[in-house]
Amino acid sequence: MSVTVRVPAKVNVQLAVGAARPDGFHDLANVFLAVGLYDEVTVTPADELRITCSGPDAAQVPLDATNLAARAAIALAGRHGIEPRAHIHIAKDIPVAGGMAGGSADGAGALLACDALWSTGATRDELLAICAELGSDVPFSLVGGAALGVGRGEQLTPVEVGGTFHWVFAVADGGLSTPAVYREFDRLTAGTRVPEPAASGALLNALRAGDTAALADALSNGLQPAALSLRPSLADTLAAGTTAGAAAALVSGSGPTTAFLAEDEASARKVADALMASGTCRNARIATSPAPGATIC
């Protein structure tokens, strides 16, 4: 008796970052798009909570109670007065610490899987509330598709997507810590006036229309200068993809994964081949969007 949930990675097609608030967080206008790279989270009854992980990046994933999948199981069990007795296995395909919300995906996946395994009867709103407690990217991993996140990014409004977008993701060697990238953002913007973050109408229209050229013009990531400052070599990766014909290139979230929007599948393949040949990344992955949120297999 086990439950498997498939859960997607995300790319931020817009990430507008406000000035640091007194509590240290930043207000965001964050347009998430789920992309078809997936982790699979399988939960099985066990005597105690245990996490295992497989996949090329498995060695970088913590297997203790700090794992977001473990935290999700503990939070759900705690609310329902039960013990979190489960073996959670993560088959990891989303790059770790890559700015693609892999940990958040596993948190949402484990939550949905444990909810089914334990028949808690939790409502969708309760699951979303637990996701928001786990981290600002976790609610989106549950819902998928595309959404605008405001506040710390966790207050979501669905966004319509009118077509399929083709992406290439260049996976970098090593990760970048999201808090470190925000600290670098604070350092780079110190003494300047940081505008209030607001969603781009042009970007939302491009998504709605399924218009690749318009989306390419509207993509933006306020964390990109900070990620490039911490990892200057990412500029070479961005240039390699653009030279190969990508319609647009940007750092994915806090990086160091870089994202390339392509006109079609053939162009995506050409960009991926050129990125691999350039030696500026560890791997290049092709994926389409939008992708569904966490789904029981």
- Of 214, 222, 205, the closest CA to residue 27 belongs to 222
Q: Which of 55, 84, 175, 222 binds ligand ATP (CB under 6 A)?
A: 175
Q: Which of residues 178-197 bind ligand ATP (CB under 6 A)?
A: 178
Distances (CA, A) of 39 to 137, 139, 152, 183, 229: 15, 16, 24, 29, 30
Q: What is the C-alpha separation between 134 and 86, in angstroms, rounded? A: 19
* Residue 137 annotated in active site: yes
Q: Determine if 98 is a binding residue for ligand ATP (CB under 6 A).
A: yes
Q: State whether residue 271 is helix, strand or coil.
A: helix
Torsion of CA 59, 65, 66, 70, to 10 degrees: 90
Closest contact distance (angstroms) between CB of 57 and ligand ATP is 8
Buried b (16+ CB within 10 A) or exposed e, 192-202: eebeebebbee
Among 102-110, 116-124, 189-197, 232-240, the segment contacting ligand ATP (CB under 6 A): 102-110
Q: Show the site string, 121-160: x = touches ligand ATP by CB under 6 A, - = not.
A: ----------------x-----------------------
If one counts every other C-beta atom within 10 angstroms of the C-beta of residue 214, the result is 15
Q: Which of residues 38-57 bind ligand ATP (CB under 6 A)?
A: none
Query: 102 among the known binding-site residues?
Result: yes
Q: Determine if 256 is a binding residue for ligand ATP (CB under 6 A).
A: no
Catalytic member of 92, 137, 173, 264: 137
* Residue 10 annotated in active site: yes
Buried b (16+ CB within 10 A) or exposed e, 110-133: bbbbbbebbebebeeebbbebbbe
Among 28-36, 58-66, 74-82, 197-205, the segment contacting ligand ATP (CB under 6 A): 58-66
Q: Which of 14, 104, 212, 258 binds ligand ATP (CB under 6 A)?
A: 104
Closest contact distance (angstroms) between CB of 255 and ligand ATP is 8
Residues present in the chain in total: 297
Closest contact distance (angstroms) between CB of 181 and ligand ATP is 8
Instruction: Tell me which residues touch ligand ATP (CB under 6 A).
Output: 61-62, 66-69, 90, 96-104, 106, 137, 175, 178, 253-254
The residues assigned a catalytic role are: 10, 137
